[in-house]
Structure 1
Amino acid sequence: MGLSGGRIALLQRIADTGHEPDGWAGPGSGLDARSTGPLVRAGLVREASAAERAGLAARTGRPVPWAVRLTHDGRDVLLYARRRAAPPVGAPPEPGLQKVALHRCDLDVLERFVALDGELHDGPAKDLGLAVEAARFHPQSNRWIMYVDGAQMRSMARAFYLERHSGSAAPANRFTRVYGVNHQPRPLGLVPRVERDPAG
């Protein structure tokens, strides 16, 4: 189970108030062993040992009965949570690119598609993988935002075509309904009877 927003906020408070030497945050920061216990058990926060508390007391000139600081995992979780909650940022899209908003499951289809680059007979369009990698989550719409050109749009439609025939038709249906792009395989020509039935 992931951390609640309240526990992420607690990690942030420890990071913000860890002004003691080496980033330790003590009771004076509005923290206590009970509130930080779940983070300690998760390995995201570490309590100071008796020797470390004695060293802190010697350096600060006051008793330090208890203190905590973020572990490396705690810092990484906090950085990741900040990035996850942040609105998409980056350079404006280049002229001629179209904004596409996708469900997470649609982006999953595209990630599988670009992972097969070099193996498929009709693989991803140029730089589609980069566009997929650059997709950013937009919390207000609950969609993943991409910017693609016409060739990449058609390539995305092919990815959803492959998904239709091997998994779910929903991504292809959504893409066609919203953007009007649908992959239509070229029909095979009629095979002459002499080729179909040489013995006939």
Structure 2
Amino acid sequence: MGRSTRHYAQLQRVADAQGDTDGWATVAPGIDERSVSPLTELGLAEAASPDAQAALSVRSGRPVLWAVRLTDDGWDALLYARTQPAPAPPVEPLAPGHQEVALRRSEMDAVRRYIGLDGQLRTPPAPGLESAVKAARFDMESNRWLVHVTDSQAQSLARGLFLERISGSAAAANRIAREFGVIYPPRQLRFTPASTRGEADAT
């Protein structure tokens, strides 16, 4: 049961109107016998018996013709639904002048380390790069973080991966340069296709 399902929303309405596990919810906006019937059919809620209605009428000083409360299954279903991950945010269209860069988890970690050094680096990350990284969306299908960046932010991102290249692995910088054309230093691209390396070495 996801957070956006009709059952979850109705469970939440009844729980809010009920107040506590011993209370009862009566007719209110969004709560009536018809709207709650899917819950009672599933055993997630129970309607008040005639005796319970009479007791509620005396307590409230007015006739109570119908009331409902969640069962143990209803409370547990509500608790379980709350533990489900929130739905992924909608895909934001690319703003003018932006490009999408898809980062692997390890690459995103490297970019975050780079941003975390802001204030200590002699050349800080480009303005807006931190916000772009924070707004990145993780795509489960491709297993990539999708970051929307301007040209200057993309160059700064590539600089972070360049620093990663110097201190560790060159794989991330090479892949970003190859797949997205984002290169740092900007005029330095020396990738020799594997099929021609032997020929180049032989000349």
Question: Shorter-chain TM-score: which interval?
Answer: 0.5 to 0.7
Q: Residues 175 and 87 of structure 1: is their aligned pair in 2 closer, same or farther, counting only changes over 3 Å?
A: same
Q: 1:88 and 2:84 equivalent?
A: no
Aligned length: 152
2 CA distance for matches of 1:115 and 1:182?
Answer: 21
Return 5+ residue gaps in structure 1 as ranges. 1-7, 33-53, 187-200
SS, match of residue 86 in structure 2: helix
- Partner residue, 2:196: none
Return 5+ residue gaps in structure 2 as ranges. 19-35, 45-51, 57-63, 188-203
2 CA distance for matches of 1:148 and 1:135?
Answer: 10
Q: Residues 60 and 119 of structure 1: is their aligned pair in 2 closer, same or farther, counting only changes over 3 Å?
A: farther
SS, match of residue 117 in structure 1: coil
- Partner residue, 1:44: none
Deviation at 1:140, TM superposition (A): 4.2
1 CA distance for matches of 2:65 and 2:71?
Answer: 13
2 CA distance for matches of 1:124 and 1:135?
Answer: 16
Contact (CA 8 Å) 2:137, 2:145: kept in 1 or not? Answer: yes
1 CA distance for matches of 2:95 and 2:118?
Answer: 24
Deviation at 1:109, TM superposition (A): 1.6
2 CA distance for matches of 1:108 and 1:146?
Answer: 13
1 CA distance for matches of 2:104 and 2:65?
Answer: 52
Q: Residues 60 and 177 of structure 1: is their aligned pair in 2 closer, same or farther, counting only changes over 3 Å?
A: farther
Contact (CA 8 Å) 1:87, 1:137: kept in 2 or not? Answer: no
- Partner residue, 1:167: 168
1 CA distance for matches of 2:133 and 2:144?
Answer: 13
- Partner residue, 2:144: 143
2:71 to 55, 59, 66: 66
Letter in 1 for 2:131: L
Alignment deviations for residues 76-108 of structure 1 (CA, whole Å, 9 cap, x no partner): x44x422x3x4423xx43322222222222222
TM-score by length of 1: 0.57
Contact (CA 8 Å) 1:27, 1:66: kept in 2 or not? Answer: no
Q: Residues 111 and 10 of structure 1: is their aligned pair in 2 closer, same or farther, counting only changes over 3 Å?
A: closer
2 CA distance for matches of 1:125 and 1:62?
Answer: 60
When structure 1 is superposed on structure 2, of 153-162 and 134-143 the one drifting more is: 134-143
Letter in 1 for 2:71: W
Identity %: 37
Q: Residues 150 and 62 of structure 1: is their aligned pair in 2 closer, same or farther, counting only changes over 3 Å?
A: closer
Deviation at 1:17, TM superposition (A): 3.8
